Amino acid sequence: MMSEQRRLHPAAIIFNFIKAIREALFVIIISFISFKDDYLFYYLLVVAGLVLIILTISVLSWYRYTYRLVDDELQIEYGIIVRKKRYISKNRIQSIDLTASVIHRIFKLVKVQIETAGSGMSAEATLKAVTVGQGEQLRRELKVVQQGEGGEDFTRNQEELDSPSKQISWNRLFVAGSTSGSIGVILALLAFGLSEIEQFLPDQFFNQTFEWVIGLGISIVIVLAIIVLFVLYLLGIAGTMIKYGNFTIQKNKEELFITRGLLEKKQLTIPLKRIQAIGVQESIIRQPLGYVTVFAEVAGGSLDKGEDFSTVLFPIMKREEVDAFLQEFIPTYVSERTKLHPLPKRALKFYLFRSVIPFFIVAALVLYFYPQFIWGPVILLLASLYLGLLRHRAGGFRTEEKLLTIRYRVLSKNTMIIVHKRIQSYEKKQHKLQKSQQLATLNLSIIGKLGVGKHYKLKDLAVNDVDLLADWYSYRKKG
């Protein structure tokens, strides 16, 4: 038990400094654009003074931040002028995650993030830079479950556990990157970035660029566009491989350990008791190839991990491998997910109608502004009708003794497996058109990340089916 007070590694000064500079970067750039012509010298003086102040605060913040373990309690003291103390009992800790960015790995350090049930938007405590050995020691002493001895690489300890483990292959990782659809996200970010930069660049620059592009000729422009799209596609693949490189999931008693990342190595701890639902996602791109992503909805947690609102348990696997994966790691959630009760045929018209609403909006705008491009909305209409058909075909449910499985589609097809006791609320809804067709919509809620509700909706089920599900939820017996 470490009872003496300790400071973080001096590299924490670097992390404090980088964080403060990043937060002030936008103001620095805007100020440079505003004062670069007439007041550049004074601007540089102010920036130099600001950097010196940030560096001084970073050093003092590191020096005044101490931690120690006393009687199964982590005690943290921090604050330059106003001293604050935080006490975290071992019994309140839900998970302890270790992360190593590129800078951490250079100095052989890790970041320790400690979460409790009430962590909220951020972790209960974050030790920005400690040695690998100290990080492992903290995890051992703060967790009831013993997890091996400290060592050179914090991922090695988990590999030595006598427990189930599964690692993604590089071939599968490449498939995950090439089918991730991240090129759309990159294009959206690029368009947003260009729209923001545009206001700071002179009009002459855009006029010259436009004239240069026109002068190239249509064939060269098309070739350049293809090259740009291909480069963005490769960037999407690289981003996925960097994020999920060396992805490994391991189970040790009542916890799952996930290690991933090439540049920033993350190790996440997921207590099984905090899992509220298991999801199987099939994107439009991956579904024809038979690949899925398995994820979990975990109660509590924070956004400090850099994770999405759902935690990926395995980035990509074949559809037929899912049951064996769940049986090995989370047997409670094994269900007959392929044998679902489908939506009634009379619900199809509702799905088709909802899907073509975007068509009418786009068609109206195009007809008003660009009537010569009316073929665009026609293509959108066909795509919308097909999407509505896919959503109707995807919808379904199944109840087992303690499990509810529902399937729905927005763009990707999602199958959610929920244990009965995790369902927080059940609601039945009907509008007049649904009543005339003997249909209804069900809403389910569970506890999601940050402790807020996570909601699932299955539209246009037969009323009898919704009532049967209500009986199952309320433990009511028929007759």
What DSSP letter does each residue of 385-429 carry, written as one string? HHHHHHHHHH-EEEE-SSEEEEEEESSSEEEEEEEGGG--EEEEE
Decide which of 195, 210, 244 is a domain's last residue: 244
Contact present, 181 and 287 (Cβ < 8 Å): no
Q: What is the pLDDT of residue 10?
A: 94
| Residues linked to residue 270 through DSSP beta bridges, in sequence order | 256
Q: Using alpha carbons, select from 398, 396, 403 the residue that is nearest to residue 423.
A: 403
Q: What is the pLDDT of residue 457?
A: 92
Q: What percent of the chain has pLDDT over 90?
A: 39
What is this structure's pTM?
Answer: 0.77
Which position has the higher pLDDT, 414 or 218?
A: 414
- Domain for residue 166, yes or no? no
- Domain for residue 109, yes or no? yes
Q: 105 is in which domain, residue-wise?
A: 6-160
Classified as helix, coil or strand, 11 is coil
- Domain for residue 278, yes or no? yes
Residues 6+ apart with CB under 8 A from 295: 278, 279, 281, 310, 311, 312, 313
Which position has the higher pLDDT, 13 or 200?
A: 13
- 130 and 199: one domain? no
Lowest mean pLDDT among 66-80, 376-390, 415-429: 376-390
- 128 and 51: one domain? yes
Strand 84-89, strand 73-78: pairing = antiparallel
- 257 and 226: one domain? no
The whole-chain average pLDDT of the chain stands at: 82
- Domain for residue 47, yes or no? yes
- 106 and 57: one domain? yes
pLDDT at residue 410 above 80? yes
- 177 and 40: one domain? no
- 228 and 204: one domain? yes
Helix, strand, coil percentages for the chain (3-state, nearest 5): 45, 30, 25
Spatial separation of the C-alpha atoms in residues 51 and 41, rounded to whole Å: 15
- 233 and 358: one domain? no
Spatial separation of the C-alpha atoms in residues 332 and 322, rounded to whole Å: 13
**How many domains does the structure of the chain reveal?**
4
Q: What is the pLDDT of residue 152?
A: 42
Q: What is the pLDDT of residues 47-102, one digit of tens each?
A: 899 999 999 999 999 999 999 988 888 999 999 888 899 988 888 887 888 999 88
Q: What is the pLDDT of residue 312?
A: 92
Decide which of 106, 135, 160 is a domain's last residue: 160
Contact present, 158 and 257 (Cβ < 8 Å): yes
- 353 and 210: one domain? no
- 49 and 79: one domain? yes
Q: What is the pLDDT of residues 9-59, one digit of tens each?
A: 999 999 999 999 988 888 888 887 777 667 778 888 888 999 999 999 999
- 320 and 336: one domain? yes
Spatial separation of the C-alpha atoms in residues 312 and 246, rounded to whole Å: 14
Contact present, 445 and 363 (Cβ < 8 Å): no
- 354 and 325: one domain? no
Which position has the higher pLDDT, 279 or 143?
A: 279
Distances (CA, A) of 28 to 58, 200, 343: 18, 14, 56
What does the chain come to in residues? 479
- 332 and 374: one domain? no
Q: What is the pLDDT of residues 283-331, one digit of tens each?
A: 988 999 999 999 999 887 655 555 556 789 999 999 999 999 999 999 9
- Domain for residue 338, yes or no? yes
The b/e string for 164-180 (b: 16+ C-beta within 10 A; e otherwise) is ebbebeeebbebbbbbb
Decide which of 224, 244, 264 is a domain's last residue: 244
Q: What is the pLDDT of residue 51?
A: 92
